[in-house]
Amino acid sequence: MSVIEEIKGGVRLHLFIQPKSSKNQIVGPHNGMLKIKIAAPPVDGEANSELIEYLSKFFKVPKRNIALVKGDTGRQKTVDIEGITLNDAHKLVTAAF
């Protein structure tokens, strides 16, 4: 399993989320996943909402193009993003850390 894999119309990210951070940021690879720090606490879906908002801005796609596929209540999440190529996603992520 790759951190970022190509799916029809976009990419799938395998993420490890660290909530209650000082700021939202991509940290880098972590146990075969991409670690992302999110400022929101893991309460009532706040961290998930903030994660989707952050990914929307980071990859420059509308929030409606981002779907939380797996990991609604855990730190390990799978997210699908439509409208971005594998190559572009790799470039953006690699430049972030």
- In angstroms and rounded to an integer, the radius of gyration of the C-alpha atoms of the chain is 12
Question: Which DSSP helix (H) or strand (E) runs through 69?
Answer: strand 66-70
Question: pLDDT of 32-82, one tens digit each?
Answer: 999 999 999 999 999 999 999 999 999 999 999 999 999 999 999 999 999
- Domain regions of the chain by residue span: 4-96
Structure pTM?
Answer: 0.93
The number of residues making up the chain comes to: 97
| Mean pLDDT across 84-92 | 94
Per DSSP, the three-state class of 17 is strand
**Under CATH, domain 4-96 is a member of which superfamily?**
YggU-like (3.30.1200.10)
Looking at per-residue pLDDT, the higher value among 97 and 67 belongs to 67
Q: For the chain, how many helices (H) and strands (E)?
A: 2, 6
